[in-house]
Structure 1
Amino acid sequence: MQFPDDDNGQMLAAMQESGIDLSQALDVDFFLVFEDKRDAESALEDLSASELNGELELTFNEELEKWELIVCLNMVPEYDALVAKETWLNTFAGEFDGQSDGWGVMQHQHGDDEFSDEDDHECGDHCHH
């Protein structure tokens, strides 16, 4: 699959190369950053009251020294949909003196057996670890 030669296209190409199935819905994290905690909290309240179907988390990003609002949306990572959502969120964040700081996908997704929690595993006669 070919992707546009920009940051979003390069991210999708890297995801595909790493074996992520881009035809399946994934939890995509969009990052919005704010200098001021009150602005970030106001944005969080506004998004919480909206019809947005996703999880929200507000943290202080030590590396950026900014407040980071993480908007986690379960969606098929299709280029046009990602660009549209990122553009919308950037415009939204701008209303609160913030901006978009990209998006990402955790390698481990629900149903991923490779990272299963070993604490839930009970060893039997046939275990080799």
Structure 2
Amino acid sequence: MAAVIWKSSTPTRKTTRPCSATRRGTKSEQLREVTKQGALDPAPEQGFSTPTEGSRWIVSRAQVEDPRPLWILGWGCLTDVAQAVHDAPGIKQKIRVHSTGSWNTKEDPAARQYLFESRKDLWMKGMNTAAKISIK
């Protein structure tokens, strides 16, 4: 299962290159089917706010009858993941969250803290991808 949640309020760039056809339509159509609008701002102090198209999509995908977990890669704010967990706590056993740990600690601290406090029954791994490095 896959979903793409984006934060930008502007739609993605359109391409003029034709995509190869597949049995479910073009690749770009397939991507549009699983791309949902996420929250535009980081979570407020309590770690959640109102559901978004993205958070509702996470909940709906996590509730699909499937023995496999729903893998979530958080390459930005975890606002929509926190909202989904708040709205449907039962999905915690189904989801596996990989996130940019240190980046979220700085940029979306409320959502990160909300998820951290839910960690007893939530599988979540943070990657320290925002560390400052120098290349010589």
Q: Identify whether the pair has TM-score above 0.5, normalized to the shorter chain.
A: no
Query: Which is richer in strand?
Result: 1
- What's the TM-score once normalised by structure 2's chain length? 0.24
Specify the structure having the higher radius of gyration (Cα): 1
